Chain A
Amino acid sequence: MPYLGGEETVRELRRALSNPHIQTDHLRYRNTIHRVIRLMSQGVDVSGLFSEMVKACATGDIVQKKLVYVFLCSYASVNPELSLLVINTLRKDCSDPNPMVRSLALRNMCNLRLPGLCEYVEQPLTAGLKDKAACVRRVAVLGWAKIHALLPNTEIDAAVVNELYGLLRDPDPVVMVNCLRALEEILEEEGGVAINKPIAHHLLNRLKECDVWGQSEVLSVLQRYRPRSEDELFDILSLLDPALLSHHVPIMAATLRLFLSLCSMLPAVCVSALERARGPLLAAAGSSSRELRYAALCHIQLLLRSEPGLMGEHYKRFYCGYAEPPYIKQSKIQVLVELVNDDNVAVVLDELKGYCTDVNTETSQAAINAIGSIGRSYDDRCLGILTGLLELKQEHITSAVLQTLRDLVWVSPQYGDAVCSALEKWEDQLQDTQGRGALLWLLGVYGDRLSGAPYILEDFIDGVRSEVSAEVKTELLTATLRVFLSRPAETQDMMGRLLQHCIEEELDMCVRDQALLYYRLLHCGIEDVRRVLQCGRRSDLSLGPLIGRPPEPISQWASIFNTLEPLMLGASSLNMLSFPCTRVWFLKTLCLFVVIFQAYVMCPVPRCSPESLQVALQLVNIQTLAFTAPNKLPWKISILFLSRNQKMFGQKCILRIKINQQPEHPHCCKTNTHILITPC
């Protein structure tokens, strides 16, 4: 209704506001103003009433004043000329005997956000800094920050900056903290407030007087302070020590961050600070608000990157509750994986097994993934659980299990037999692209051991016309070729059909190029095919450090502790679950591609243009930047990897790959390959 009758209502309100009868009747006047503000909140454009509202702010009634100010601040940018009229009233209010009125006027004067009015505002602000009432000083101090934000190019008068530094010693703690905030904004280009010894000590001494917000602010500013001597450092640390156990999570987190930055040179102190803060952190991870719980979990994940043993014995705190939202469950699962050790592995696996059947698909996939990554370093019970899950015949579970198995056997080839026996009786149909891709990969690699492999492949090849996903098709090509190597008799015919289809009828260029690549590779002779394709089946030990993460130094993440970033990292790792390739999978594909690429470029006959290979690499979001001429050693290639998945290596990264020797055997080719990853 307000949307339709908007204009009519505005006209009616204007009449009412300028009606002298209403103006003299306090109650009716105020009610009319209420109606204006209500319409404004509902999204009706009432900016046309600006000049009428300007008159209404000359009143003794504070509530009415506040409402008019809200109106004026919302529409000032639309009516810059008329706003000049308000300034007079506001300036008059700035000298009102009532401090409430003074602070209100001062605050709204700055909130009008009109650069042209700044010259009128500066004088009352300067006066406000010296006001008797703390509430006026609070507003005046922040007012200068607002002026700076409006006119970023003009410098704030040095006298004002000095005055602000002086007000750091104001008796009112809020004024002090506001001063810090304002100076941080004003002096941003110079790196924020200059924290020297007297200021640092003054702030530390007054820390207790501030409220939670103030304390967090002061603690974060203090990070820039560098104590002169070790004695001073330890005095500060012992002064702050009780705050590490503070029951206010923000204060605890801010103190911990300060500890980490002050002691960046003393890793032992950092570790003991982390241990001290463990209790409050765990309490925060069990906080009643889910958002705060999530924030705490993300930060715990950060801590575990450096101190994997920190929470070991408290793993039970990270069990998921039934009603918890998926994002909390998923981060808890990720934490649980980190906390697994010899003693609790059985219990944790049991618990994770329960999550695998969660109603939320993402959560169940995260749990299955987690079991897979535990399987890399712990017993084969994981494999039992995973293969057991296949029997549930739930599509999304099966798909996740296959992907996990694929990643697992690549790192731990000793599980190959068990995976084969699980796949032996395979007869399901999968709809999910990623699951099908994983199934095909497993079939290709274990084609010689799985008696049914060619028949499953045949089903896929028969249905290739109706297959939409290019990813599945390229995977199918590779798998067929691999099975062909071990069982040529059963596969040759259908491989021919597949290659023919992909080369002659396929519309997707990447698939077609891949098929052409294999076709020409087959021309080079079976030995070359074997050399290129079968090296991908064995895991590469030199990649070990990339897969298993060594503990990072604390300084790696100390700067982002207690900010937004860990939460964004957490969020992107949630999205990672829906991203087709995991880290391991990516590296594996990459290696395969590079080997093909290199073998191909160096292959004497037939010469194929490297451009068609570049197209093939683009399939996995890889762009070739440069590579050395064929037949030169060492052979180098630079690749730009564009990732939708920030957690892996950052959004973009350049990989430089160097191959020192002509790959005589696939084995030595891998050991002579160096991969350097630089995020950009």
Chain B
Amino acid sequence: MSVSAVFVLDLKGKVLICRNYKGDVDMAEIDHFLPLLMTEEEEGVTCPIMMHGNVHFLWIKHTNLYLVATTNKNSNASLVYAFLYKLVEVFTEYFTELEEESIQDNFVVVYELLDELMDFGFPQTTDSKILQEYITQEGAKLEVAKTKVPTTVTNAVSWRSEGIKYKKNEVFIDVIESINLLVNANGSVMSSDIVGTVKLKTMLSGMPELRLGLNDRALFALTGRDKGKTVSMEDVKFHQCVRLSRFESDRTISFIPPDGESELMSYRINTHVKPLIWIESVIEKFSHSRVEIMVKAKGQFKKQSVANNVEVRVPVPSDADSPKFKTSTGHAKYVPEKNLAVWTIKSFPGGKEFLMRASFGLPSVENDEMEGKPPITVNFEIPYFTVSGIQVRYMKIIEKSGYQALPWVRYITQSGDYQLRSNF
């Protein structure tokens, strides 16, 4: 892939920190980055790859930072983006929030990390779990920094170091499914899919061997043995710790878990699920006077379940004023800076139906700028429930010392990219 240099810039294009890996591209080239980006933005044709002379800039934006990689070779672009995102991931694990301030406050660690992550334009150690073993923020304090080589750098199990100890041995398993939905203006579902993840928080001593059993239905779908009745999972990803050969031969998910939080697997199910929260909306615009909005929300899931923190975001014209709301439950408010009316319902039981009416005034002098037709978006969270029906059957924990450990399981279904196009 060969990256010549990596830069972290603030929004004004000032270099906060940089690292020249190859020395084959002039570091001053970065001065062309922001002007190029500005001209592209003016023309409305921004693009994540830009060229100046024979230097390519590949960039991503994260909060108030630009992360830019330069290269003058025809290198593998998606790998470079993947590396930049890896940088974001590692920095975020170190500083919890990656932004201008955290870079400036931790520049020592950033330099150390940039040194370890890449050498001569090639990614080296990029696993943040391993990096955290020998690059610590405490290093900045005076206690003589850890000078021992971490075992993991040469270890067979690169994601877990030996000699971890906990008083109480526990594993927390979170099964989280988020639903992406796109409904067009006449109410038909254009596309819907489920993106699921199984997250682990392991607090186990030693080198435990874990085995996870999921319910058969999901597994059959994975093996493709039962294509007729079950939903087919696409794009199943496992953490590197899972022994894929075991999985391929007898479908057991067995692994030595990384310590602390990690994502064990993720999957995607491309199927038509019934939209869990259905929205019907009537938006009437009387130009020069007012907008009338009527939104009906219906919970199309089991009666026993309850959706929490439901938020229906209805777009309104940018020049609307004097909002009036009437809701059958929850409360609604106007968020002028985002041009939204947000209707919040703390708890929304399945099978119920609620109504919100809103009216806004419009100025008599019309705004002639064209506005897009933003969709209605919905956020929600339904605990103790998975749409796909995936379930954890068992979790076996085996360790040489033979301690007893407790697995805890939690299910959550939440909204992902949940959009319903409106017709106003």
B22-36 residues at the A interface, CB under 8 angstroms: 22-24
Distance in angstroms from B105 CB to nearest chain A CB is 10
Say yes or no: B123 contacts A133, CB within 8 Å: no
Q: Which residue of B lies closest to A27 (CB)?
A: B142
Residue of B15, B77, B115 with highest tally of chain A CB at under 10 A: B77
B182-210 residues at the A interface, CB under 8 angstroms: 182, 184, 190-191
Of B235-243, B280-288, B292-300, B326-334, the one touching chain A: B235-243
Distance in angstroms from A78 CB to nearest chain B CB is 13
A566-582 residues at the B interface, CB under 8 angstroms: 566-568, 570-571, 574-575, 577-578
B111 CB contacts on chain A under 8 angstroms? 37, 66-67, 70
Say yes or no: A41 contacts B17, CB within 8 Å: yes
A149 CB contacts on chain B under 8 angstroms? 22-24
Q: Does A416 contact B (CB under 8 A)?
A: no
A181 CB contacts on chain B under 8 angstroms? 120, 122
A575 CB contacts on chain B under 8 angstroms? 45
Say yes or no: A317 contacts B81, CB within 8 Å: no
B9-28 residues at the A interface, CB under 8 angstroms: 14-17, 20, 22-24
Distance in angstroms from B148 CB to nearest chain A CB is 8
Q: Which residue of A lies closest to B238 (CB)?
A: A247
Say yes or no: B134 contacts A145, CB within 8 Å: no
Say yes or no: A220 contacts B76, CB within 8 Å: yes
Total number of B residues with any Cβ neighbor in A under 8 Å: 78
B17 CB contacts on chain A under 8 angstroms? 41
Say yes or no: A564 contacts B154, CB within 8 Å: no
Distance in angstroms from B379 CB to nearest chain A CB is 14
Q: Does B406 contact A (CB under 8 A)?
A: no
B321-348 Cβ-contact flags toward A at 8 Å (1 or 0): 0000000000000000000000000000
A258-297 residues at the B interface, CB under 8 angstroms: 279-280, 283-284, 289-292, 294-296
Q: Which residue of A lies closest to B21 (CB)?
A: A111
A207-239 Cβ-contact flags toward B at 8 Å (1 or 0): 000011100110010000000000000000000
Task: Known A149-B22, A291-B60, A295-B77; judge A135-B153 contact (CB<8 A).
Answer: yes
Task: Known A26-B142, A134-B153; judge A37-B119 contact (CB<8 A).
Answer: no
Q: Does B144 contact A (CB under 8 A)?
A: yes
B85 CB contacts on chain A under 8 angstroms? 289, 292
A-side interface mostly = helix
Task: Known A41-B17, A291-B60, A319-B190; judge A63-B82 contact (CB<8 A).
Answer: no
Distance in angstroms from B246 CB to nearest chain A CB is 13
Q: Does B250 contact A (CB under 8 A)?
A: no
Say yes or no: A101 contacts B237, CB within 8 Å: no
B277-316 residues at the A interface, CB under 8 angstroms: none
B22 CB contacts on chain A under 8 angstroms? 149
Q: Does B126 contact A (CB under 8 A)?
A: yes
Q: Which of these, A101, A174, A292, A322, contacts B82 with CB under 8 Å?
A: A292
Q: Which of these, A26, A37, A100, contacts B149 with CB under 8 Å?
A: A100
Q: Does A613 contact B (CB under 8 A)?
A: no
Q: Does B38 contact A (CB under 8 A)?
A: no
Q: Does B401 contact A (CB under 8 A)?
A: no
Q: Which residue of B lies closest to A325 (CB)?
A: B46
Q: Does B249 contact A (CB under 8 A)?
A: no
Query: What separation, in Å, do the CA atoms of A283 and B46 have in the docked complex?
Result: 23
Q: Does A362 contact B (CB under 8 A)?
A: yes
Q: Which residue of A lies closest to B266 (CB)?
A: A247
Say yes or no: B234 contacts A562, CB within 8 Å: no
Q: Does B363 contact A (CB under 8 A)?
A: no
A285-340 residues at the B interface, CB under 8 angstroms: 289-292, 294-296, 316-317, 319, 321-322, 325-327
Distance in angstroms from A209 CB to nearest chain B CB is 10
Task: Known A134-B154, A135-B153, A578-B45; judge A279-B78 contact (CB<8 A).
Answer: no
B230-258 residues at the A interface, CB under 8 angstroms: 234-238, 240, 248
Q: Which residue of A lies closest to B14 (CB)?
A: A43
Q: Does B79 contact A (CB under 8 A)?
A: yes
Q: Does B268 contact A (CB under 8 A)?
A: yes
B365 CB contacts on chain A under 8 angstroms? none
Q: Does A376 contact B (CB under 8 A)?
A: no
Distance in angstroms from B366 CB to nearest chain A CB is 14
Q: Does A192 contact B (CB under 8 A)?
A: no
Query: What separation, in Å, do the CA atoms of A296 and B78 have in the docked complex?
Result: 8
Say yes or no: A319 contacts B47, CB within 8 Å: no
Q: Which residue of A lies closest to B139 (CB)?
A: A63
Q: Does A172 contact B (CB under 8 A)?
A: yes
Distance in angstroms from B226 CB to nearest chain A CB is 19
Of A352-360, A382-390, A447-455, A584-592, the one touching chain B: A352-360
B145 CB contacts on chain A under 8 angstroms? 61-63
Q: Which of these, B46, B115, B149, contacts A66 with CB under 8 Å?
A: B115
Query: What separation, in Å, do the CA atoms of A514 and B243 have in the docked complex?
Result: 74
A469-493 residues at the B interface, CB under 8 angstroms: none
Q: Does A440 contact B (CB under 8 A)?
A: no
Q: Which residue of A lies closest to B122 (CB)?
A: A181
Say yes or no: B23 contacts A113, CB within 8 Å: yes
Say yes or no: B154 contacts A289, CB within 8 Å: no
Task: Known A142-B122, A249-B82, A253-B78; judge A283-B235 contact (CB<8 A).
Answer: yes
Distance in angstroms from B130 CB to nearest chain A CB is 11
Distance in angstroms from B129 CB to nearest chain A CB is 13
Q: Does A250 contact B (CB under 8 A)?
A: yes
Of B163-171, B215-223, B350-358, B368-376, the one touching chain A: B368-376
Distance in angstroms from B140 CB to nearest chain A CB is 7
Query: What separation, in Å, do the CA atoms of A422 and B49 have in the docked complex?
Result: 41
A-B contact pairs, 8 of them (CB 8 A): A70-B115, A135-B154, A142-B120, A178-B119, A290-B48, A295-B77, A326-B45, A567-B77
Given contacts A100-B134, A317-B191, 20 further A-B contacts (CB under 8 A): A41-B16, A67-B111, A99-B149, A142-B122, A178-B119, A211-B240, A213-B126, A217-B1, A247-B235, A279-B234, A316-B190, A316-B191, A321-B419, A322-B374, A326-B46, A327-B45, A354-B184, A362-B45, A567-B77, A570-B47
3 shortest A-B CB distances, which residue pairs?
A: A247-B237, A359-B372, A213-B123
